[in-house]
Copies of this chain bind each other. A is one copy, B any other.
Amino acid sequence: MNLEKEIKELAVAVKAAARVLAATATTEKNRALLAMAENLRRQREFLQERNRIDLDQAAANGLSAAMIDRLTLSDLVIEGMAAGLEEIAAFPDPVGEIERMWQRPNRLKIGKMRIPLGVVGMIYESRPNVTADAAGLCLKSGNGVILRGGSEAFHSNMAVLKVLHEALATTTIPPAVVQVVPFTERKAINYLLACEDEIDLIIPRGGEGLIRFVVAHSRIPVIKHYKGVCHVYVDAGADQEMARRIVINAKTQRPGVCNAAETLLVNQEIAAAFLPRMLAELKAAGVEIRGCARTCALVADIMPATDADWAAEYLDLIIAVKVVDDLAAAVSHIAQYGSDHTETIVTRDYQRAQEFLQRINSSVVMVNASTRFSDGGQMGLGAEIGISTTKLHAYGPMGLEGLTTTKYIIYGDGQIRE
């Protein structure tokens, strides 16, 4: 077996199938999504039987309970996959939408029409439910997709694929629009990342190590974010009760995700009044605090922060706290240590609210709201296939529209260029 050649052939087949999908009507795509959902429910026992092989292997290899939990296709997870596909069927189809149309002095009529990207390559870690989610989002947006999950989930992913293919076979859409790389060798990823003539976009989902590996080896554009170091800035004169509520929510509601807050910046004018109760509430919520010198001077028993704390993505019940002179100092701190993910200001001041929105160029910038709202679903984008902190193509949460591009269409009546 020649691995490189097999991967290339897989990519060529997906590209050819994706061309048919790109011209498929929304009604047929929705019919396929509903058939996929139905077949996932019907084939629950088959899925769990194949999942069992991966789970036994994981137990034998001594994987952590958390890893095994993520790997398990429970009844609830399978129902979630099916319901997710039904939700995607209900979203509007971005493909074919014409954004605007204008007329030139020579009467050429020019517009921008949304079209699929072509083929998406998705590289992710062990959760097999991503296989169905990503397949659904790519199908709805008219893209072929090649999925490469973690090797621990190999049998589960291949089983999900079989169930999706059975459903697609009842439609006019070629099943080959969705494929799972049927090899567990790491080298398969390298070959996938070299298929620049077949694959238009790579989306890695997983830890920073996986993402850096993909970026370093890909000849195809990559949508990525390495980490989320999100800031809450409490302005002078802020509503302190609102500020405490937002900080507690941003830090503790789900600390393990990228839109959780990692650093609290507090204006010096409000620090003495605000910090003692704020830090007491954080401690009561089980949060460990690492403070700057001014924070430690204001509140007893705070661990001093080191420079590494300002850049840390804890993904845990830990927060770094810094007192800053003014808005400009907060902006500078974020420019130096931020990750372009999400920042929020808590303020009552109109001018400074606008200034924060203007001067912070992170992918999501908020006034008086928790960073936890930085999420495609919460923001009304429909669904989220990833989040980008690279400014090219998509910046911020990326939904169905991020899986499309626009081509120019021109209506003429015989115009030639003079």
Hey, which bits of chain A sit against chain B, CB under 8 A? 19, 22-23, 96, 102, 104, 108, 110, 113, 115-118, 200-201, 215-216, 219, 221, 239, 242, 245-246, 248-250, 253, 335, 353, 357-359, 361-370, 372-374, 378-380, 390-393, 395-397, 405-417
Number of copies: 2
Given the interface pairs A219-B215, A409-B357, A410-B364, the reply to whether A200 lies near B391 with Cβ below 8 Å is yes
Contact B117 A416 (CB under 8 A): no
Contacts of A215 in B (CB 8 A): 219
Report how far A412 CA is from B365 CA in the complex, Å: 11
Report how far A277 CA is from B415 CA in the complex, Å: 20
Contact A372 B118 (CB under 8 A): no
The chain B residue with its CB closest to the CB of A115 is B361
Contacts of A22 in B (CB 8 A): 361
Cβ distance A413 to chain B, nearest Cβ, rounded Å: 6
Contact B391 A118 (CB under 8 A): yes
Report how far A210 CA is from B239 CA in the complex, Å: 57
Report how far A335 CA is from B361 CA in the complex, Å: 39
Contacts of A245 in B (CB 8 A): 414, 416
Contacts of A411 in B (CB 8 A): 353, 366-369
Cβ distance A255 to chain B, nearest Cβ, rounded Å: 13
**8 A-B pairs with the lowest CB-CB distances in the bound complex, closest first:** A369-B412, A249-B416, A372-B417, A393-B393, A366-B410, A391-B405, A242-B414, A368-B412
Contacts of A407 in B (CB 8 A): 361-365, 395-396
Report how far A239 CA is from B415 CA in the complex, Å: 13
Contact A395 B391 (CB under 8 A): no
23 contacts between A and B (CB under 8 A): A96-B358, A102-B380, A104-B378, A104-B379, A108-B373, A110-B379, A113-B357, A118-B361, A200-B392, A201-B391, A201-B392, A215-B219, A239-B414, A246-B414, A246-B416, A253-B416, A364-B408, A366-B412, A367-B412, A368-B412, A379-B410, A392-B392, A395-B406
Contact A408 B380 (CB under 8 A): no
Report how far A395 CA is from B116 CA in the complex, Å: 12
Q: Of B253, B392, B395, which contacts A417 at CB under 8 A?
A: B253
Contacts of A115 in B (CB 8 A): 361, 391
Cβ distance A279 to chain B, nearest Cβ, rounded Å: 19
Cβ distance A331 to chain B, nearest Cβ, rounded Å: 9
Given the interface pairs A369-B108, A370-B417, A391-B200, the reply to whether A358 lies near B412 with Cβ below 8 Å is no
Q: Of B249, B361, B370, B408, which contacts A379 at CB under 8 A?
A: B408
Report how far A378 CA is from B116 CA in the complex, Å: 26
The chain B residue with its CB closest to the CB of A362 is B407
The chain B residue with its CB closest to the CB of A390 is B221
Cβ distance A61 to chain B, nearest Cβ, rounded Å: 34
Report how far A391 CA is from B117 CA in the complex, Å: 6
Contact A405 B395 (CB under 8 A): yes
A248, A368, A410, A413 — most chain B CB neighbours (10 Å): A410
Given contacts A369-B414, A396-B407, 15 further A-B contacts (CB under 8 A): A22-B361, A108-B379, A110-B380, A115-B361, A115-B391, A116-B361, A117-B392, A249-B416, A363-B407, A369-B410, A372-B417, A373-B415, A373-B417, A379-B410, A397-B408
Contact A410 B373 (CB under 8 A): yes
Report how far A22 CA is from B391 CA in the complex, Å: 14
Contacts of A390 in B (CB 8 A): 200, 221
A335, A365, A405 — most chain B CB neighbours (10 Å): A405
Cβ distance A92 to chain B, nearest Cβ, rounded Å: 13
Report how far A406 CA is from B365 CA in the complex, Å: 11
Contacts of A370 in B (CB 8 A): 415-417
